[in-house]
Structure 1
Amino acid sequence: MKKEELQEKSILKYLIKKSPTTVRKIAEITELSEKTVRGRLDKIDTFLKQNKIGEIRKEPGKGISIIVFEDSKNELDNFLYTNETLITENERVTEKILIYLLTLPKDSFVTQGWLSKKLFLSIPTLRNELSEVKRWCVSHNIELEIVQRKGMRMNGSEYAKRIGIIDLVLANNKNVGKSLLVLCPGLDVEKVKKIIKQVEKNWKIQFSRSSFNKIWIMICLSIYRGRNGKSDEGVPDDYKGIESYNEYNFSESIYQLLSENGYRGFQERDTRLLAMLIIGASKLTWDFELDSNVGAENNKLTDFINHLIISISDVLGVDLRDDQILANDLKEHLKSAIFRMRFGQKNANTMSKQLKSEYSDAFLSVWSTSQLFEQYFDIQITEDEISFIVLYVEAALMRRKKTVKAILCSNLGRSQSFFVAELIKKNIPAISEIEIIRENNFNRPVPDDVKVVLSNTGVPSSNVIPISPIPTRADFNLISQSIDDEAQQTTTEFYFTK
């Protein structure tokens, strides 16, 4: 679900619980600007009215309230607590226009007059909607071509068009089966689904639900568009050697089983299109080695990852070159990510904003490698893909943080001292063990395996970290900084005895 959709549902839930309220209060709760909240409220109001669920009411002196019609409460609850998303009639019109244009037969045009009658729209309204259509096309590597005296059509590769249709079907979590019956009339889409599942089982592969649906839609489009002359020639050929991937062999197996079940007319191009989609898909189970058949292309990816890790290490000032787990994780992820970025497949990361804020150093280190992506693969890395790589980098940094032992010098009672020690370990996982000593035992070298010495007694030593009797957040921050400080790795020079 997109960020905007989550925000809209959050606002709706808040209105149901706290009506009447104010724009300012909603902005504070959702961490949005008041301007953004007003826009979201207008969209929610339009949605409620168009679906005859209720309305947003604004009353001077009282604030903003939500009015839900009595017989629509269950419908609203179902909407709020499922993956359905808020969509207005204007957005539905844009989708309908896109579907009409994307499913036109090869070399066919449609006029604005015909389309306006088909959708019961005035010509001015249709022209306004076409502005949204053009924006959508740009994000999908498709051009809305308008030819005088002929009309308009979608101009782009067959792959781009199919990905566009897939995105439209999956938008707003529609019922995929029902959508396919509309897109591919006469096709037994459930039978196609069973065949895909059979090949999935034979190969011991499991795709995520979203990826499976994309594959299902792609194959149904291959059958229907090929059968009805709607399929265009042209497959992106800027990625050579796709036939060497196991995903290509898997795609061949699907089309072979489809042929055995009476489906005909497939081309090698269909196998390539499906393989390209599967390479970028999310696989829950995939038992084949990444580099089993990819030859020189895999060597290029390996070389790229080595440069990527070196560059990230230089920016962070932390050497990650020996972390084989990081290298393998990046290899597995980037194989799909590069295809997604090259061929316009979107893979939203809902954590992007949080990662950018909380792990800014790692985010900056990955962002600084953008030129490497252009140099090796002629692609521009997206912020979402940067965020995915940040997760792998942060995991690698966590692996580097070895646990340390600490000493706590305390004159508090036994129970109080043990409580403080456990509180410190709870808030600072890097400390695995704390030995408690008394101030009068402080007179011999600290063992080499002890890296942190704490005291709540006021021991006068530059190597001791002073803390409060009951440590505060400031104390925890000071201890954490000291652990991370390279100076803490040198031998300490204070003394104690047992």
Structure 2
Amino acid sequence: MNIRKKEKQVINDIIALLLTKKLVHYSDIQEYTGLSKRTVAKYLNDVEVYLNSKNLSLIRKRNKGIYIEGDLKRLKHTASLTENVVNTDITASILSMLIQTNNAISLDDLADKLFISKSTLIRKIEYLKNNYNLEIYSSKKGISVDPNSNITKDALTKYVQNHLKSKAYVIQNKMRYKYTFTKNMPTLFPEEIFTRISNVIENFVHLTGLLIERRMYELLIIHTAIEIALFKQYNQYPKNNMFDEYSSDNLSIFIYLISSEFNLSITTDALEYTNHDLIFIENKNLKRDITINKIVINKGNLKKILEKVIPRYDDILIKNLTNHLYELITRYKLNVYMDNPYKDEIKRKYPVAFDNALALSKNLGELLSISITESEVGFITLHFEAFIHRQVNLTSSKIRILIICSSGYGSSVLLKQEIEQKYSDRIEIVKTISEDEFVKNQQLNFDLIISTIEIENVNTNIVKVSPLLSKSDELFLEKEFDRIKREQYGNNVFLRLIKKDNIIMANEDNLTPSDVITKIVDNLQNNNYVRKGMLEASLNREKLSSTGLRNVAIPHGNPTFVNVPTISVFINKKSIKWGENRVHIAFYMALNDQVEVEIDKLYKYFYSLIRNDKKISELVNSKDPDDFMEKLLLLQ
């Protein structure tokens, strides 16, 4: 079969994909090769001819897929030739090729070299720009990047962080790590480079006695690998002004170890990011003060700042945030950035904590003239979430029952089983005890006592029943359960703050978050819940970071514009694109210090509500505001 080099490469790519995935569809091959369905069909015919020459069959079955049938050992040589192709990610190939090409390269030439269509190439380039903030220059000659710019190194850092994985081994009572890529980074990084740098760092730690926290350890490996790769590629390194500030005390030791390991005469200027990492590690080990925006930052000063700017906190939150933010500010000063691969999940799962972290980041940013990324906000969120968990007991909303029984173990078990069988959906039995045990354990947390004996002089609701529940006992218990639920409703600040007049139901196309926020705030302002200025504050907050979560949105503004605290609800039958999510319901939080003492109760209920997709779905399907309120009451 006489075929050109490019066509042979495509055929090899398709065979490699079939060998790797065993069963594929046209869409898989299109995505992998960047070819149209018609062109893929043509190449599959060529693949079939080649496989037949090896006594193999290409099976194409509708609604099942495409696969190779026969003894695959006959393709052993072909598999080895295409191994690199299977592991190669097109995005990584583009990134590597742009960095390794000294001059601009045309889109047509780059597409040909990668064996992909021009449209696929353009799409992948946009992906690099949007997801890795890579700066790509365009000219008449083609596209290029500045390999020595901080923007390019930051993009490379983020890519490697996303695709590098480590495996731990215990060797001679010490932990050792082996690093591999989840997707291959061709030519730019030999895979063993990361493990070799890890070994260098182990020697460095042994020589200097410095302790390196795990995240920083991996960042040091990545930055060193990038700067070694760039130095090898260009054999020189332009001096960066940021490097003039100061050098790590231990940089010369690190350079000696790296140079020995890789047989390089690497210069100080080539290790700008590595130098910053080492300074950060030294600062943390030696607890050095840093100065930023003419403010001296140490843990004592930072603690005082946090106590002023955070409205609600405990000692643990201040201590943990002080430690975390000291590191964050030090990293910022040295242009060392941490990517947070979990930031979207954190934002979705912990909306209230994320908002607290965002507010703190904004205040610190203004005070210190620093920019705190959303990745860092995600890390800060975890401290606020832990604080909320300490403050709010996220227990079940069931009625907590204490059973006191004096008729013996058998009858107490029988009574417990009967009550659980009849009311398990409404109650939770905390404990079953005797009257003597009750006297010793009055600190137990419960809503109601069910007892087989009369007990007086106790400041708790008690219902006396017979060991075998009678019909009158059941009726009385039902009445008591309803009374407690009504009390719980009265104590539920979340339910109390929702008014029917502030529930808006719509069925509109193409609504935006700004449209929804405007409708909600206009309604609240017309009813004097909020005053002028709230709309602008709410829209500005939305610009700062989307308040859209996985299944709901929680827009809000500045508490200073709230006259009367309330929670407004907006339901739209058609989904609304809110940030990266699509939602049907928005809870607008118009809260101020009038409800500050009850805010923990509010968060408790709201957290449990938005984490339950079924409950949210039921609320979205409400017919009208009355139906919404009735469902909300039943769902608590």
| TM-score normalised by the chain length of structure 1 | 0.56
Distance 2:113 2:363 in 1: 48
Amino acid at match of 1:292: K
1:10-159 matched pairs, under 5 angstroms: 46=31, 92-105=89-102, 108-112=103-107, 114-121=109-116, 125-126=117-118, 129-137=121-129, 139-148=131-140, 150-155=141-146, 158-159=149-150
Q: For 1:404-415, what aligned pairs fall within 5 Å after superposition? A: 410=403, 414-415=412-413
CA contact (8 A) 2:401 2:430 kept: no
* Residues 302-317 of structure 1 mapped to structure 2, 5 A cutoff: 303=301, 306-308=304-306, 310-313=308-311
Q: Deviations 1:8-55 (Å, cap 9, x if unpaired)? A: xxxxxxxxxxxxxxxxxxxxxxxxxxxxxxxx9956995699999x99
Cα distance change, pair 90–411 in 1 and its aligned pair in 2 (3 A):
closer
Residue 292 of structure 1: aligned partner: 287
Q: Aligned equivalents of 1:127 and 1:344: distance in 2?
A: 35
CA shift, 1:392, in A, is 0.8
| Contact 1:215-1:277 at 8 Å conserved across structures | yes
Structure 1 alignment gaps of length 5 or more: 1-39, 60-64, 74-87, 281-285, 314-318, 447-452, 459-465, 488-498
Q: Deviations over 1:207-231 (max 9, x none)?
A: 54x7655433432343343244255
Equivalent residues of 1:352, 1:383 under 8 A apart: no
Q: Which residue of 1 aligns with 2:153?
A: 162
The question of 1:200 aligning with 2:195 is answered no
Runs of at least 5 residues in structure 2 that lack an aligned partner in the other structure: 1-24, 48-57, 73-84, 166-179, 406-410, 421-426, 433-441, 466-475, 495-594, 599-636
* TM-score, L = length of structure 2: 0.45
Q: Secondary structure at the match of 2:94?
A: helix
Question: Residues of 2 paired with 1:335 and 1:275: CA distance?
Answer: 19
Q: Offset at 1:376?
A: 3.7
Matched with 1:443 is 457
2:257 — aligned with what?
Answer: 257
Contact 1:142–1:160 (8 Å) recurs in 2: yes
The answer on whether the counterparts of 1:142 and 1:156 sit within 8 Å (CA) in structure 2 is no
Note if contact 1:55-1:67 (Cα within 8 Å) is conserved in structure 2.
yes
Alignment RMSD (CA, Å): 5.8
Q: In the TM superposition, what whole-angstrom CA distance separates every residue of 1:402-434 from its partner, at most 9, and x where no partner exists? A: 99xx996656664468888984389xxxx9735
Corresponding residue of 2:439 = none
Distance 1:456 1:66 in 2: 67
Match of 1:183, SS?
coil
For 1:480 and 1:250, the matched residues in 2 are separated by: 64
State which of 370, 386, 406 in structure 2 corresponds to 1:395.
Answer: 386
Amino acid across the alignment from 2:98: L
Does residue 424 (structure 1) correspond to residue 430 (structure 2)? The answer is yes
Matches of 1:388 and 1:186, distance apart in 2? 30
Deviates more, 1:375-384 or 1:184-193: 184-193
Whether the 8 Å CA contact 2:129–2:136 is kept in 1: the answer is yes
Residue number in structure 1 paired with 2:558: none
Aligned partners of 2:135 and 2:145 also within 8 Å: yes
1:369 aligns with one of 356, 360, 385: 360
Counterpart CA distance in 2 for 1:68 and 1:481 is 63
CA distance in 2, matches of 1:479, 1:72: 70
> How far apart are the structure 1 equivalents of 2:327 and 2:71?
43
Structure 2 Cα separation of the partners of residues 226 and 309 of structure 1 = 46
Match of 2:274 in 1: 274
- Report the Cα distance in structure 2 between the residues aligned to 1:55 and 1:357, rounded to whole angstroms: 44
For residues 254-295 of structure 1, give each alpha carbon's deviation from its aligned partner in whole angstroms, at most 9, with x where no partner exists.
223234557454333444411445688xxxxx8985671233
Contact 2:321 2:383 in 1 (8 A): yes
CA distance in 2, matches of 1:442, 1:146: 86
Aligned residue for 1:299, secondary structure, equals strand
Structure 1's 172 and 139: CA in aligned 2 closer, same or farther, altered over 3 A?
closer
SS of the residue 1:296 aligns to: strand
Q: Structure 1 417/193 Cα, relative in aligned 2: closer, same or farther at 3 Å?
A: same
Larger Rg: 2
Select 1:433's aligned residue among 431, 444, 462: 444
Indicate conservation of the 8 Å contact 1:279/1:336, yes or no. Answer: no
Report how far residue 99 of structure 1 moved: 0.9
By relative contact order (CA 8 Å, sep 6+), the higher-ranking structure is 1
